[in-house]
């Protein structure tokens, strides 16, 4: 059996050298935590459609697709053209411009909760702004989030992301900031109800409507419905963090797909067509806290100040408009979702053939690989794996431990963590090649894996 780890190293001398140089420039040699990889990450230099290439000439089927931003795949012609034309006309006017208006109108048209829109530079900025809007609107201090849910890296968002959930994922955050975050497990309506009833300082609840980490710990739509009812009953605002699900779950995001309208929505990624950009949108009465008033007194004391050099910049706006025009048609979703289903089915068949315990789950254009013993194997087939406690799921997943991502890279497949997202450019041939790569990787790791328990 070929040694995939050795192959990975042998075929990537330039990536290895660049990484060694990078160690002297960046902490751990990387510019995004997700790229931290033993023995070293790949250095990409070109991408097109569903594929990308590294500096050593290796080709990959890409399941990061710009960390989810590229539903249309790399280099979509109308997006490239829009960016090129706009770059020539100016990248920053330091003035209002028509493109921001057109972009904002498209967000309003597509996203049901979007009565008003505000652009920012990233998803992290969007969730930070949404939380602040809720605190300002309600005159309360706290935000409730769910254990495992990811909302970026600002001081409030680092609470309750990874087990143990009472310890933030970052140092350097003031204890008083963390005390303003309430963290409870998802999918427990009674606990949510009790928490909101007992703590009257909670301004809002924020959730990834797919469930934590783009559905790696799924929540059911029925919980989202309950969440909407409970927050309304307790007069607490609801934020859907649609940084990933926005424009991907459906052209109108998860809220459109499930028919549940939050008070505020945060967006980024697909919003800006693969360029930097974020947005908060929602109820006009809440968003109006950003509004200037008629008096100096109002403007100094009664609003949220919001500068930001790259808010609604023309380049991101041009790319965003071009991308959303394609998103709007719904065709990218049909294609990416169909390929997602084919991929999950094929990878599950590989696990069964190889008699290795685990499952490949997810819905729509997402997939997650769980390797190890599932408590309730049957439920894997329905998109909700194992005991849906989250902690168990993350801790017991052996995919990273047995080096699945590196082995898949050696076979020409770039996963995002232990799974990935698809674009409309992924083809049946890509999927079949990915399944073949997974078969090789599973054969390589099989000796380290438990076999399924007899039922
Ligand atoms: C649900 C969610 N919220 C917020 C963010 C932060 O977005 P950004 O990386 O643009 O700051 C992310 C990033 O992946 C995300 O997945």
| Domain ranges, residue 205 | 77-327
CA distance 65 to 71: 7
Q: Is residue 454 part of a domain?
A: no
Q: Does the beta carbon of 122 lie inside 6 Å of ligand 1? A: yes
Domain boundary pick from 275, 307, 327? 327
248 and 166 part of one domain:
yes
Instruction: With respect to residue 352, please indicate whether it lies within any of the assigned structural domains.
Output: yes
> Is the shortest distance between the CB of 121 and ligand 1 below 6 Å?
no
Structural domain includes residue 118: yes
For the beta carbon of residue 452, count every other beta carbon within 10 angstroms.
Answer: 15
pLDDT number for residue 401:
87
Do residues 154 and 84 share a domain? yes
Whole-number pLDDT of residue 375: 57
What confidence category does residue 453 fall into, taking pLDDT thresholds of 50, 70 and 90? low
Centre a 10 Å sphere on the Cβ of residue 227 and count the other Cβ atoms it contains. 23
Q: How far apart are CA 196 and CA 204, in angstroms?
A: 10
Neighbour count for residue 50 (Cβ, 10 Å): 25
Assign residue 93 a region (left: φ > 0; alpha: ψ between -120 and 50; beta: otherwise): alpha
150 lines ligand 1 (CB under 6 A): yes
- pLDDT, tens digit, 9 for 90 and up, residues 250-281: 999 999 999 999 999 999 999 999 999 999 99
Query: Would strands 413-414 and 59-62 be described as parallel, antiparallel, or unpaired?
Result: parallel
Q: Collect all residues with Cβ–Cβ distance below 8 Å to 50 and sequence separation of at least 6.
A: 61, 62, 65, 73, 74, 422, 423, 425, 426, 427, 430
Closest ligand 1 atom to 124 CA? 11
Residues 335 and 435 in one domain: yes
Q: Which residue has the higher pLDDT, 307 or 391?
A: 307
Q: For a ligand 1 pocket test, name from 35, 121, 123 the mutation site with the most ligand atoms within 8 angstroms of its C-beta.
A: 123
CATH number for the domain that contains residue 364: 3.90.1150.10
For ligand 1, say whether the CB of 244 is within 6 Å of any of its atoms: yes
Distance (Å) from CA 120 to ligand 1 centroid: 13
Q: What's the rounded Cα separation, in Å, for the pair 189 and 187?
A: 6
Q: At what angle do helices 331-354 and 314-327 cross, to 10 degrees?
A: 70
Q: Do 259 and 158 share a domain, yes or no?
A: yes
Taking CA atoms only, the protein residue closest to ligand 1 atom 8 is 123
Could you read off the pLDDT of 216-260 as tens digits, one per residue?
Answer: 989 999 999 999 999 999 999 999 999 999 999 999 999 999 999
Q: Do residues 340 and 364 touch, judged by C-beta distance below 8 A?
A: yes
Q: In this structure, are 119 and 237 located in the same domain?
A: yes
The verdict on 275 and 367 lying in the same domain is no
- Please list, in sequence order, all residues whose beta carbon lies within 8 angstroms of the beta carbon of residue 242, skipping any fewer than 6 positions away: 111, 209, 249, 253, 254, 255, 265, 266, 267
Torsion of Cα atoms, 281 then 286 then 290 then 295, to 10°:
150
Cα-to-centroid distance, 67 and ligand 1 (Å): 9
Residue 301 sits in the same domain as residue 365: no
The best mutation among 34, 120, 124, 267 to test binding of ligand 1, ranked by most ligand atoms within 8 Å of the C-beta, falls on 124
Is-contact 117 271, C-beta < 8 A? no
Dihedral angle of Cα 43, 49, 50, 56, to the nearest 10 degrees:
-30
Report CA(10)–ligand 1 centroid distance (Å): 34
Tokens representing 130?
A: 């949404």
Which of 303, 327, 351 represents a domain boundary (last residue)? 327
Task: Give the model's pLDDT for residue 396.
Answer: 77
- Give me the torsion for CA of 81, 82, 84, 85, rounded to 10°: 110
Probe target for ligand 1 pocket from 244, 266, 316, 417, with the most ligand atoms within 8 Å of CB: 244
Contact 119, 279 (CB under 8 A): yes
Compute CA distances 440 → 136, 153, 370, 444, whole Å: 54, 36, 17, 6
Going from the Cα of 245 to the center of ligand 1, the distance in angstroms, rounded, reads: 10
Are residues 125 and 101 part of one domain? yes
Q: What is the DSSP code string of 417-440?
A: TTEEE--TT--HHHHHHHHHHHHH
Mean pLDDT value across residues 90-119? 98
The answer to whether the CB of 66 is under 6 A from ligand 1 is no
Q: How far apart are CA 429 and CA 34, in angstroms?
A: 27
Please indicate, yes or no, whether residues 313 and 242 belong to a single structural domain of this protein: yes
- Asked if residue 268 has its Cβ within 6 Å of ligand 1, the reply is yes
The reported pLDDT for the residue numbered 388 is 44
Burial 332-357 (b: 16+ CB within 10 A, else e): bbebbbbbbbbbbebbbebbeebebb
pLDDT class for 1, splitting at 50, 70, 90?
confident
Query: Beta strands of 177-277 (E only): which ranges?
Result: 181-184, 202-207, 211, 217-218, 237-241, 264-268
CA of 266 to the centre of ligand 1 (A): 9
Q: Is 455 among the domain residues?
A: no
* Rounded distance between C-alpha atoms, residue 212 and residue 159, angstroms: 13
Q: Are residues 58 and 95 in the same domain?
A: no
Residue 453 falls within a domain, yes or no? no
Q: Is residue 156 part of a domain?
A: yes
Residue 450 has pLDDT above 80, yes or no: no
Looking at per-residue pLDDT, the higher value among 455 and 213 belongs to 213
Asked if 140 and 159 sit in the same domain, the reply is: yes
Tokens coding 63: 């399941």
Helix (H, G, I), strand (E, B) or coil at 303: coil
- Note the pLDDT of residue 377: 45
Q: Give percent above pLDDT 70 in the chain.
A: 94
Looking only at Cα atoms, what is the longest distance across the chain? 75
Q: What is the pLDDT of residues 107-156, one digit of tens each?
A: 999 999 999 999 999 999 999 999 999 999 999 999 999 999 999 999 99
Regarding the beta carbon of 151 and ligand 1, being less than 6 Å apart is answered yes
Residue among 64, 67, 131, 151 to mutate when testing ligand 1 (max atoms within 8 A of CB): 151
CATH number at residue 322: 3.40.640.10
| Residue 267 in contact with ligand 1 by CB distance below 6 A | no
List all residues 6 or more positions away from 328 whose beta carbon is below 8 Å from its beta carbon. Answer: 106, 109, 110, 251
Count: domains in the chain:
2
Query: Is 373 within the bounds of a domain?
Result: yes
Ligand 1 atom 12: residue of nearest CA: 152
- Both 279 and 344 in one domain: the answer is no
State in Å: Cα 25 to ligand 1 middle.
Answer: 25
CA nearest to 369, candidates 455, 429, 441: 441
Q: Which of 152, 169, 266 to mutate to test the pocket of ligand 1 (most atoms within 8 A of CB)?
A: 152
Residue 411 domain flag: yes
Tell me which of 305, 327, 349 is where a domain ends: 327
């Amino acid at each position: 059996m070929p040694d995939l780890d050795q192959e990975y190293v042998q075929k990537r001398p330039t990536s290895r050298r660049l990484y060694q140089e990078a160690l002297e420039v960046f902490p751990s040699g990387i510019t995004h935590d997700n790229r931290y990889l033993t023995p070293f990450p790949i250095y990409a230099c070109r991408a097109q459609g569903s594929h990308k290439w590294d500096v050593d000439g290796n080709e990959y089927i890409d399941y990061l697709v710009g960390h989810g931003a590229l539903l249309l795949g790399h280099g979509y012609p109308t997006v490239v053209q829009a960016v090129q034309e706009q770059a020539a006309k100016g990248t920053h006017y330091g003035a209002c411009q028509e493109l921001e208006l057109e972009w904002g109108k498209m967000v309003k048209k597509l996203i049901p909760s979007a009565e008003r829109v505000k652009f920012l530079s990233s998803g992290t900025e969007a969730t930070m702004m949404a939380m602040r809007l809720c605190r300002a609107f309600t005159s309360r201090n706290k935000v409730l989030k769910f254990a495992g849910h990811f909302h970026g890296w600002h001081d409030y968002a680092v609470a309750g992301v990874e087990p143990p959930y009472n310890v933030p994922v970052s140092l350097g955050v003031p204890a008083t900031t963390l005390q303003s975050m309430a963290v409870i497990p998802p999918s427990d309506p009674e606990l949510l109800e009790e928490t909101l009833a007992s703590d009257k300082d909670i301004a809002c609840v924020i959730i990834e409507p797919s469930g934590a980490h783009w559905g790696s710990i799924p929540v059911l739509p029925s919980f989202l419905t309950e969440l909407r009812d409970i927050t309304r009953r307790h007069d607490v605002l609801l934020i859907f963090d649609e940084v990933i699900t926005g424009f991907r779950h459906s052209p109108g995001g998860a809220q459109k797909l499930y028919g549940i309208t939050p008070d505020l929505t945060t967006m980024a990624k697909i919003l800006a067509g693969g360029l930097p950009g974020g947005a908060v949108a929602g109820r006009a009465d809440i968003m109006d806290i950003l509004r200037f008033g008629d008096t100096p007194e109002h403007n100094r004391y009664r609003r949220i100040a919001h500068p930001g050099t790259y808010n609604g910049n023309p380049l991101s706006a041009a790319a965003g408009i071009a991308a959303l025009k394609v998103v709007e048609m719904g065709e990218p979703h049909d294609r990416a979702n169909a390929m997602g289903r084919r991929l999950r089915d094929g990878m599950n068949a590989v696990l069964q053939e190889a008699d290795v315990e685990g499952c490949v789950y997810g819905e729509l254009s997402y997939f997650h690989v769980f390797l190890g013993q599932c408590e309730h194997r049957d439920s894997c087939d329905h998109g909700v794996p194992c005991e849906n406690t989250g902690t168990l799921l993350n801790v017991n997943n052996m995919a990273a431990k047995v080096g699945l991502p590196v082995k898949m890279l050696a076979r020409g497949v770039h996963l995002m963590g232990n799974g990935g997202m698809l674009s409309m450019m992924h083809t049946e041939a890509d999927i079949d090649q990915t399944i073949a790569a997974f078969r090789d990787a599973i054969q390589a790791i099989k000796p380290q894996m438990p076999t399924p328990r007899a039922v």
